[in-house]
Chain A
């Protein structure tokens, strides 16, 4: 009897989770529908002008580009930084130091995103204005940098874990062969941890795309074509900025939901691509061994 209850609850919660996700997508679609039926999804995605005040034209092309640009920039910067930290923690320091450092890294995860935002405004934006004489420090680079800091803990933890596994498996053999530590790191470690780093990259990218508060405070919120040092607008900060003041039921309101839907859809598509790629990769790895 107990086994039956257990089985039932497992099924129930799984379907509940899937159902909630479906409900979420359905809700976004329902609120976005009035706008999309009138303007069309393609012209919405390719339209480059977002004007909510005078013309009421809604196109998210530049905003979508900026969202991906900032997330990709943050992931790339964070990747190199985190790899460095992970290698140092795994190979070049004492166990005690490593434990303390991991504790700090874990704490970084707990800092609220708006605190990161304040930090970025004062240090990064202020720094750009004072030391690099920008007319205004808000730019894609600033957002990318603070995002890189925010996702670094995830990367570091993920990568350090896989490094430990590889160390346990190969380090003794490598040392027995008389090979230098650096050779081990560059020739063996990187090759073996490729997959784990890739998965970590995907997870971090998904996290970075949705990050709202910190990005909103330093990106300038100007829906223009994004370049590294220009102001830009990301979808999440667009929604947070404009939703409170938009009139319920107006086209603006529905357009904001449409942009949320587009963001969700693109994250889903990306994850699907990555998932297929990674499972194919995993099969290849398994066959290599």
Chain B
């Protein structure tokens, strides 16, 4: 009994003593951005080791960057509650969210786009030269076209399997706002919990169609095929010049001015090395 008491007090003391705030930066939010910041953070920590090697004047603390994914909504909440230094968002900050964060600082890291993708075995690619009009996309996703043969009689009369992200989430919101407008997505659509699961479904099922994020679509280039919308290809140039419409910004937000160590890391994310990491993950960074 005495030993247990001692252990408890010791554990409490250890946790209090080992809390050094300055060396640690925490990020919370979008599961799309999380792997990017995580990789950048690891590279940054490996390259420099401690903050004083990054820039003179910074404390000699070990660089520790913690990422917790949980969705853009969770990222905003973490910043509002103060449980995280930065929030990662894969969408614009909403007006009422902005109002809740005093002195919000926002940094745009890149742009993500959504590709409409089908399985490579789908004859649609050959028949329509890999192109769909916006009206056709709306009819497919709303369930008005139930079978592939409704879209084009030359296609087999198999049921169209629609895969989307969760309908209330940030990724779908872009698709809804830019393409579907007021038309609701079919109730029958499969809501995948993540982009990875969505792409896996399209790879597995020849009748599936869905929207995959630009990065993941390119990573799986042979296994899924991205379609053009109204003749516009989801390429880097088209996304940057906004001729390809389904895109979303990747931003990190903070309550108040960033500290010196935090600014140093944000600078790294915007430097050549950081941009390279972001682009390697498949996102687009507009060149200045």
Chain A residues within CB distance 8 Å of chain B: 51-55, 121, 126, 129, 135-136, 138, 216-217, 220-224, 231, 240-248, 252-253
**A21 vs chain B, min Cβ distance (A):** 24
Q: B189 contacts A245, CB within 8 Å? A: no
Q: Are B189 and A129 in contact (CB under 8 A)?
A: no
Contact residues of B: prevailing secondary structure: mixed
- From A126, A231, A240, A241, contact of B204 by CB (8 A): A126
Bound form: Cα–Cα A253–B158 in Å: 37
When distances are taken between beta carbons in the complex, the residues of chain B under 8 Å from A223 are 187
Mark contacts of B57-98 with chain A using CB atoms, 8 A cut-off: 1 yes-contact digit, 0 otherwise: 000000000000011111011001000000000000010110
| Distance of B115 from chain A, by nearest CB (Å) | 20
Interface pair A54/B187, CB less than 8 Å apart? no
B205 within 8 A of A: yes
Given A54-B176, A135-B158, A217-B197, verify A246-B73 contact (CB < 8 Å): yes
In the bound assembly, the distance between CA atoms of A222 and B94 in angstroms comes to: 27
A51 to B172, CA, bound (A): 13
Tell me whether A245 and B187 are in contact in the complex, defined as CB-CB below 8 angstroms, given that A54-B182, A136-B207 are known contacts: no
Contacts of A129 in B (CB 8 A): 204-205
Q: Are A240 and B193 in contact (CB under 8 A)?
A: yes
For residue B159, give the distance in angstroms from its CB to the closest CB of chain A. Answer: 4
Q: In the complex the two chains form, what is the Cα distance from A278 to B279 in whole Å?
A: 62
By beta carbon, the residue of chain A nearest B1 is: A5
Q: Give A44 to B25 CA distance when docked, in angstroms.
A: 42
Binary per-residue interface labels of chain B (154-183) against chain A in the complex, 1 for a CB within 8 Å, 0 otherwise: 000011010000111111110010000010
Which residues of chain B are near A135, meaning CB under 8 Å?
Answer: 158-159, 161, 207
Interface status of B208 (Cβ within 8 A of chain A): yes
User: In the complex, how many residues of chain B place their beta carbon closer than 8 angstroms to a beta carbon of chain A?
Assistant: 40
- Are B72 and A245 in contact, CB atoms less than 8 angstroms apart? yes
| Nearest-CB residue, chain A, relative to B90 | A245
Is residue B31 contacting chain A, with contact meaning CB distance below 8 A?
yes
Given A129-B204, A221-B166; A244-B187 close (CB under 8 Å)? no
Asked if B71 and A53 make an inter-chain contact with CB atoms under 8 angstroms apart, the answer reads: no
- With A136-B161, A248-B76 known, 8 other A-B pairs at CB within 8 A are A53-B167, A54-B176, A54-B182, A138-B190, A221-B192, A222-B191, A245-B73, A247-B73
Q: Is B111 an interface residue (CB 8 A)?
A: no
In the bound complex, how far is the Cα of B73 from the Cα of A149, in angstroms? 34
Whether A241 contacts B76 in the complex (CB less than 8 A), given A53-B168, A221-B166, comes out as no
Residues of B within 8 A of A221 (CB): 166, 190-193
Q: Top 7 A-B pairs ranked by shortest CB distance?
A: A244-B71, A245-B169, A52-B168, A221-B191, A135-B159, A248-B77, A53-B167
Q: State whether the Cβ of B188 lies closer than 8 Å to any Cβ in chain A.
A: yes
With contact pairs A54-B184, A247-B76 given, residues A242 and B166 touching in the complex (Cβ less than 8 Å): yes
Chain A CB within 8 A of B185 CB: yes
Q: Which of B80, B188, B208 contacts A222 (CB 8 A)?
A: B188
Could you say which of A51, A241, A244 contacts B74, with CB atoms under 8 Å apart?
A244
What are 17 sample pairs from A and B whose C-beta atoms fall under 8 A apart? A51-B167, A53-B167, A53-B172, A53-B173, A53-B184, A53-B185, A54-B176, A136-B190, A217-B197, A221-B191, A224-B188, A231-B188, A242-B169, A244-B73, A246-B169, A247-B94, A248-B73
